[in-house]
Amino acid sequence: MKHFKKFSWIVLLFFPCITFAQQLVSGKVLDRTTNTPLPGVTILIKGTTNGTTTDFDGNFELNVPNNNAVLIVSYIGFATQEVPANSQNLTIYLEESSLALDEVVLVGYGQTTKKDATGSIEQVTSDKFNGGAITSPEQLIAGKTAGVQIIPAGGRPGAQGTIRIRGGVNSLSANTSPLIVIDGVPIDQQGPALNSVNPNDIETFTILKDASATAIYGSRASAGVILITTKSGKGGPLKINFDSYVTSQLPTDFVDVLNANEFRDLINANGTPNQIAQLGNFNTDWQDQIYKAGYGTNNDLTLSGGFNNTTYRVSLGYQLQDGILRTSRFERYNSSIKVTQKLFKNALKIDLNIRNSIVDERFANQGAIGSAVNFDPTQPVFSGNDAFGGFFESLDTDGTPKDLVPRNPVGLLKNNRNLGETRRSVGNIQFDYKIPYVEGLKANLNLGYDYNDFRGTTTIPAVAADGFDEGGSVTNTFSLQRNLLVDFYLNYVKEFESLKSKIDVTAGHSFQDFHRENGFNRLNGINQTQEDFFATENALESYFGRLNYSYANKYLFTYTVRRDGSSRFSDDNKWGTFQSGAVAWTVTEENFLKDHKIISTLKLRAGWGETGQQEVNSDFPFLPTFTFGDSRSQAQFGDEFIPTIRPEGFDANIKWEESKTWNFGLDWGLFNDRITGSVEGFLTDTNDVLSRIPTAAGTNLDNVLLTNVGNLESEGLEFTLNATPFQTDDFEWSFNFNVAFLNNEITKLTASDDPTFRGNLVGGISGGVGNTIQINSVGFGQNKFFVFEQVFDANGKPIEGFYVDQNGDGVINIDDRRQFRDPNPDTVLGFSSYLRYKQFDLNFTLRANFGNYVYNNQAASSGNFSQTNTLDTNTNVHGSILRTEFQEQLLFSDYFIEDASFLKMDNITVAYNFNKLFDQKVGLRVYSTVQNVFTITDYDGLDPEVSGGIDNNLFPRPRTFILGLNLTY
């Protein structure tokens, strides 16, 4: 008997589709207000996971065990109803709910409802995602939430953008990107890009902004947390969805450089005889030569459904995108499987999730972008002979390519083959178990992994000008990242009706282990080899807990605590405790506002929390270690060569950064939440900020060391407004508007308080070697530009080399450079519009930033006459020279700090829905999207949106045109 029980358990696990005797009910589900059928409504038999969904006409059929069965009818945006299955032909009317507040939102290690949430949490669901050919998932939510900036990377297909929550200003040298958690598995913050996740598989993004929401992620939470949930099967019969689109990408603009005639005129007028002699007779627009239209396609097939205790979703995806830079190409193959299995009368729910992807890329040699700006426009693309693959190059007297001069941009692209393949698998299995005998107690176990493997090969043929000296080369690179996760928590929920109280307690343990390695080997045409390999590990162990208490549904209280241990710090500093507390008052639950005709929601929130930062880009910053030298860095002792070992610098006392955040929020809703909004204010203090600063000479083995110094402050205000001004059968318009005002200041920077200390120079630029344009100074915001104040003549033309003598000492030197503007916007706005008219819909997203400044590095470094000559070779210069007539490189003039405020339309989609085709079984949606539609800005460079604020040789973002269709069966 015992054995039989065990066996039956196994049987249950593997054959979950056993069914019992039945009787059939059918019915129709309608919207109460419009009396129209509702498709896709979920109908479940109470107490089971058996159920179905309605078809396009709102009809359903379902076998129920007996006449006493009760159906649970639920649909997003409508109040859930329980209906006795006592008739063969039911008509069920659903009423719209005050939906926003009942919406389930994720929190760390659990979920809550919008109504019960006390922290600053925003959720973006797939129906609100940005349209378009999206290769990296974070683009789905650009502009959708207040205080979340998604700064797109350049136009390389697959390039990952920068995500900044509330400015991302809580650290100087450690990580400022949010922790990303996919289905409960935190991904490695040093890890690979998100671009292996198929955007089509994502259901929601939940953004945890304030510390009361993030503190449960403790030492990884300072920069915010983004929880990503992937789509699940909804149950019911097999549904098939097929989505397919084609794209065409075009460059929008080129960098302003002199054309061949302008360049010839300039050299003929001002050049040396040597320069004039070098001028060619051609008119080549090098940028036009290296860019082209890029075509692509994306195809996703999804199967989903369920039977009895099982639901499933399987998706397959293929995406191809050629970049606009010749030879660049991105190709992705995706598969995902998600299965939910319920066992033991629903006491145990098992979620299995596996997502695999292969990304094949050809990386264009991006050196061509800079070369196309600088290469002499009077020279031809092809030389007319076979040398160097036929490409024209600047040569030495011996006919070999000159060192250190620009190479033919087209040659750089064509004579370089850089292929890479990334294989990634992310998965988890989660057991959610309602523990018998204790009502309200459940246990949750989550086992997860993330495995990412990259292999690449760069081949430069012997004929290539930049491989000529060594007869070409083959370089293999590889990297591997993997992490393993074990999370376990217990959750206990109990309502004390007599006390009008409800508690919800969670306590758990988490362990995550990270392994990373990378390396390369290289062989050139003269049989020289080179190789390197690096591997490292770190681990995090945590204990966490949360207590939610609510009284009469109107007073809410949350307390969280996390104790984190990190392998990255010494025994004395390994463990840190991070706590948070929040209170909320749902005013609309009070008698004086309950059932108010206009005000449907009013809630006040206040929270405080501590978070940390241990993502310091080094796994052993506290430990003395030695690095081995390679075979090319040996010492010659007599006739032997001795490889070397180098002791590394370390800070034995290094520890977490700690941020303390106050957050105040007000959520409101009017007219049954047709209009909702929130206002948030926050104030963050970060102590023991990790910064890379110069060490006192002779005291350490590094001249610049990562160490805890300094304090930062940041503050901000965020407003969100969601409204549906029109809502009828035929016409509906809703929009989201959000705005954030951000400010930050450095309040301490060094161990000693030296008033003469101007700050740490940061922000490396091109132009010379080792120059920087930014500074972190006490009393200023981060990354202020550090520049001279340009003096202009009566006509408004900058006077070369003439700057304001700020300290009046009669000498212009670095002491006269001043903090001036910064790249961080003061104001960030987003506006999304969703418009439906009959079967048409039209959606678009606008984004704007104000108060962000960009250093036009291209103009500063090459917009001057001295740059027409690089090592005795004519080189083209930036078009600003025609206005400035600068002779020398004036890298530090504030003339090149430009206002880069902008308004962008990121995307616009128009679609037509054929709801009923082929006997009403097939839904068809046809859509067209334009991405990067327009940009309004005063900025002179290619694109005002530059992460870090230094504009130099960006892979330009294309404008993308998309035509697609979506079939549902």
Check binding of 469 to other proteins (CB under 8 A). yes
Kindly tell me which of 127 and 639 has the beta carbon lying closer to other proteins.
639
Tokens of 395: 């040569």
Check binding of 532 to other proteins (CB under 8 A). yes
Min dist. Cβ of residue 219 to other proteins (A): 12
Min dist. Cβ of residue 631 to other proteins (A): 7
DSSP label of 391: B
Query: Is the alpha carbon torsion for 793, 797, 800, 802 positive or negative?
Result: positive
Binding residue for other proteins, selected from 277, 552, 598, 635, defined by CB under 8 A: 635
Tell me how far apart the alpha carbons of residues 581 and 559 are, in angstroms, rounded to a whole number. Answer: 4
Binding residue for other proteins, selected from 12, 387, 429, 443, defined by CB under 8 A: 443
Stretch of 187-195, 692-700, 912-920, 946-954 lying at the interface with other proteins (CB under 8 A): 692-700
Q: How many CB atoms lie within 10 A of CB 729?
A: 11
Check binding of 459 to other proteins (CB under 8 A). no
Check binding of 652 to other proteins (CB under 8 A). yes
CB distance 586 to 115 below 8 Å: yes
Residue 451 exposed, middle or buried by CB count within 10 Å (0-12, 13-18, 19+) = middle
Binding residue for other proteins, selected from 262, 421, 453, 702, defined by CB under 8 A: 702
Ranges within 156-175 binding other proteins (CB under 8 A): none
Stretch of 41-49, 285-293, 866-874, 942-950 lying at the interface with other proteins (CB under 8 A): 866-874
Ranges within 704-723 binding other proteins (CB under 8 A): 704, 707
Residue with tokens 């003269």: 526
For residues 486 to 505, the per-residue mask of contacts with other proteins, x marking binding by CB under 8 A and - elsewhere, is: x-x-x---------------
Binding residue for other proteins, selected from 384, 770, 808, 810, defined by CB under 8 A: 770
User: Would you give the distance in Å from CA 168 to the centre of its chain?
Assistant: 12
Ranges within 552-581 binding other proteins (CB under 8 A): 565-567, 574
Binding residue for other proteins, selected from 1, 3, 20, 698, defined by CB under 8 A: 698
Binding residue for other proteins, selected from 370, 767, 944, 956, defined by CB under 8 A: 767
Tokens of 419: 């292929």
Query: Is the alpha carbon torsion for 131, 137, 141, 142 positive or negative?
Result: negative
Check binding of 934 to other proteins (CB under 8 A). no
Check binding of 348 to other proteins (CB under 8 A). yes
Binding residue for other proteins, selected from 242, 254, 282, 431, defined by CB under 8 A: 431
Ranges within 869-898 binding other proteins (CB under 8 A): 869, 871-872, 888-889
- Helix or strand or coil: residue 951? strand
* Whole-angstrom Cα Rg for the chain: 31
Nearest to 862 by CA among 840, 846, 844, 878: 878
Tokens of 901: 């405020």
Check binding of 434 to other proteins (CB under 8 A). no
Tokens of 203: 């259901």
Kindly tell me which of 557 and 575 has the beta carbon lying closer to other proteins.
575
CB distance 62 to 45 below 8 Å: yes
Residue with tokens 């920069």: 223
Nearest to 556 by CA among 523, 595, 582: 582
Strands (E), 634-674: 635-637, 640-642, 645-647, 657-670
How many residues sit close enough to other proteins to count as binding (CB under 8 A)?
Answer: 114
Residue with tokens 């292996």: 196
Tokens of 114: 């919008």
Kindly tell me which of 36 and 633 has the beta carbon lying closer to other proteins.
633
Tokens of 736: 């989201």
Min dist. Cβ of residue 184 to other proteins (A): 15
Ranges within 248-277 binding other proteins (CB under 8 A): 272, 274
Check binding of 526 to other proteins (CB under 8 A). yes
Residue with tokens 């109280």: 501
Check binding of 647 to other proteins (CB under 8 A). yes
125-136: b (≥16 Cβ within 10 Å) or e: eeebbbbbbbbb
Ranges within 8-47 binding other proteins (CB under 8 A): 9
Binding residue for other proteins, selected from 95, 265, 285, 396, defined by CB under 8 A: 396
Min dist. Cβ of residue 476 to other proteins (A): 16
Stretch of 38-46, 65-73, 158-166, 484-492 lying at the interface with other proteins (CB under 8 A): 484-492
Nearest to 427 by CA among 408, 451, 398: 451
Pairing of strands 348-362, 417-434: antiparallel
Kindly tell me which of 602 and 890 has the beta carbon lying closer to other proteins.
890
Min dist. Cβ of residue 820 to other proteins (A): 17
Q: How many CB atoms lie within 10 A of CB 667?
A: 24
Stretch of 183-191, 243-251, 410-418, 462-470 lying at the interface with other proteins (CB under 8 A): 462-470
Kindly tell me which of 273 and 384 has the beta carbon lying closer to other proteins.
273
Kindly tell me which of 55 and 894 has the beta carbon lying closer to other proteins.
894
Tell me how far apart the alpha carbons of residues 694 and 713 are, in angstroms, rounded to a whole number. Answer: 23
Check binding of 695 to other proteins (CB under 8 A). yes
Tokens of 15: 């054959």
